[in-house]
Amino acid sequence: MTQLERQQRGLLNLIKNRGLPPDDPYLRQVAGSRELTIVREIAVWWRAFQIEDQCYFTSRLLKRRECFDTIVTTYFNNNPTSPFIEELGRDFLNSLRDHDDCLIRAVSQFELALLQVRAGCTDCFEVHWDRHPDRVILALEEGSELPASETGCLYRMRIARDLPRLLVCTREYATQQE
Amino acid sequence: MASAHKVGRTHPVPALATTYEGDDPALLERIVPLIDTIEISPDAIARSDAKQARLRPEILEEYQSVLPHVNLVAHGVGLSIGSFDHWDESYLRLLDGLFSRFDLDWHSEHLACTVVADENVGTMLPLPRTEEVLDLICERVQAIQKRYGVPFLLEHVIHLLPDMPGEFTPAGFLNALTSRTGCGLILDAYNLECDAHNQGLDICAFLDELDLAPVRELHLAGGVQHKGFYLDIHSQPTRDTTLAIGLDIIRRTPNLRVVTYEFLKEAVVLLGHDGICSELARIRQAIQQ
């Protein structure tokens, strides 16, 4: 490994807050510097800015849940991030598909499906909601109170290019809550 | 229209350029009468579908529509010419597309690394000023010069992190680079001001040491302060102090062709169309004196 490779890999790890403390004297100096904190903040700030632009509803929901900054920082640290905003937005939303919070799961996958369909994807996507999706979107849009989960109720939403207005949603009374 | 013209002084008055990244035809209409050249960032006008970046045809049409009135230059962000393993080939594909559509006066990039082991760093890392890096960059510069056949310029970036150990001074490294390859330089007055503020760079000493003959373009911009640091987030009008550095550079550089006012697309809301136009008029007036 050349000196340049060692330094660049080391800086990547430091900026992304990964790996073990470095042995290299220069990297140790960087690791202890105030400037590294600034560089990290700017890098995450840009990703957050772009994600807010691309993932409007998901960002609003994550802010409501007071976890936006933490999730974006964790995402930046643990994943390669595309310099292309559309790709970053899609990858970020995709990373939330298994989130513990079912509303974050639903909103992010709804937004991801819409982005993909609008970009020309011909797949059909299905998103499950535990409360009325229109009311959720309206609440996020207006900043009003989010609707509560409807026990025993499942909203099955399909999103595809060939559907009228790109989506249909049906309400089902599920025996088992998702 | 875009070429520099003599106005009875030692050096020609440089042309005026600015950034335009598309999707704002009202802005384009306002700025075109005020400038000579548009700086295009291929990365900023591309969209990535299925991991393949492509130039957006509707933005290329916008440039096409103003071609009788302005010249075009390209200024990239994503080449990552200083990555230890390889540059980003996808950037060159974007540049190929731009060159196939337009006659560009020249193209340029940042002397930096944005990708490490195929992973985007999230910032621009300056390069260590070593012989090892100089050899690497020179080889890549020569390959780019051969590929496009028009002048290629490199721009120094701001240094936020402590400098890596090196064998050259900042100006000495650029001198070695330009003398070995014949490439041109962009000097960014705001980047120099950031380095002076953040890292204690002596701008006068830097300019005294630098061979200024290869400098073809000067960048002006205004950024933000964060926790005491100057950051190169181009979102403000040019500060008077930055403009003064720029004017000093203009006086010193014999072959300067263009002065470019840079701003981010995201900053248009902050600056406003009126603000951008005022800034262009202000810079034009300053560089003509």
Report yes or no: A31 at the B interface, CB cutoff 8 Å. no
Render pLDDT for B119-141 as a digit per residue (tens, 0 to 9): 999 999 999 999 999 999 999 99
Q: Does residue A9 sit within a domain?
A: no
Q: Would A3 be classed as within a structural domain? A: no
Of residues A3, A11, A38, nearest to B226 (C-beta): A38
Q: How large is the ipTM?
A: 0.92
Chain A closest-CA separation from residue B26 CA (Å) = 22
Q: How large a percentage of chain B has pLDDT more than 70?
A: 96
What is the spatial distance between Cα B81 and Cα B114, in angstroms, rounded to a whole number? 8
Counting other chains too, the contacts that B281-288 makes at CB distance below 8 Å and 24 or more residues apart are B281/B34, B282/B237, B282/B238, B283/B16, B283/B220, B283/B238, B283/B243, B283/B259, B284/B16, B284/B34, B286/B243, B286/B246, B286/B247, B287/B13, B287/B14, B287/B16, B287/B246, B287/B247, B287/B250, B287/B259, B288/B7, B288/B13
Alpha carbons within 13 angstroms on the beta-carbon side of residue B190 total 24
Residues in B closer than 8 angstroms to A86, CB to CB, are 47-49
Chain A CB contacts of B223 below 8 Å:
none
| Interface contact flag, A15 B130, Cβ < 8 Å | no
Average pLDDT estimate for B134-150 = 98
The alpha-carbon gap from B122 to the nearest alpha carbon of chain A, in Å, equals 5
DSSP string, A29-95: HHHT-HHHHHHHHHHHHHHHHHHHHH-HHHHHHHHHTT-HHHHHHHHHHHS---SSHHHHHHHHHHH
Total structural domains within chain A: 1
> Residue A120: is it exposed, middle or buried by C-beta count within 10 angstroms (0-12/13-18/19+)?
exposed
Q: Does B123 contact A87 at a Cβ distance shorter than 8 Å?
A: no
| Spatial distance between the Cα atoms of B160 and A157, rounded to a whole number of angstroms | 48
Contact A15 B164 (CB under 8 A): no
In a domain, A23, yes or no: no
Asked if B123's CB is within 8 angstroms of A42's CB, the reply is: yes
Measure the CA–CA gap between B42 and B96, rounded to whole angstroms. 10
- Positions of chain A with pLDDT lower than 50, given as ranges: 177-178
Domain that holds residue A120: 33-173
For residue A14, tell me if it sits in a domain.
no
Token look-up 């995402």 returns A75
Is A106 within a domain? yes
Closest CB to B161 among A12, A33, A76: A33
Per-residue pLDDT, averaged over B1-8, amounts to 42
Res. B25 pLDDT band, cuts 50 70 90: very high
Residue A109 lies in a domain: yes
Distance from CA of B204 to the nearest CA of A (A): 24
* Alpha-carbon span B203 to B209, nearest angstrom: 10
Q: Which of B90, B113, B131, B161 to mutate to test the interface with A (most CBs of A within 10 A)?
A: B161
Domain annotation covers residue A53: yes
The answer for B117, left when phi > 0, alpha when psi is -120 to 50, beta otherwise, is: left
What pLDDT is recorded for position B51? 72
Residues of B within 8 A of A119 (CB-CB) are 49
- The terminus-to-terminus CA distance of chain B in angstroms comes to 19
| Encoded amino acid at A177, one letter | Q
Question: pLDDT-derived band of residue B10, with 50, 70 and 90 as boundaries?
Answer: low
Quick one: which of B250, B241, B233, B234 has its CA closest to B284? B250
On whether residue A24 sits in a domain, the answer given is no
Cross-chain residue pair A11–B118, CB shorter than 8 Å: no
Is B128's CB within 8 Å of A11's CB?
no
Count H helices, E strands: chain B? 9, 14
Digit-coded pLDDT (tens) for B198-223: 999 999 999 999 999 999 999 999 99
Contact assignment for B227 to A83 by CB distance below 8 Å: no
Question: Helix (H, G, I), strand (E, B), or coil: what is residue A113?
Answer: helix
pLDDT at A136: 98
Say whether A83 and B78 touch across the interface (CB within 8 A).
yes
CA dihedral in degrees (A100, A101, A105, A108; nearest 10)? -120
Nearest-CA distance B66 → chain A (Å): 26
Residue with tokens 């007071």: A66
The answer to whether the predicted template modeling score (pTM) of the entire model surpasses 0.80 is yes
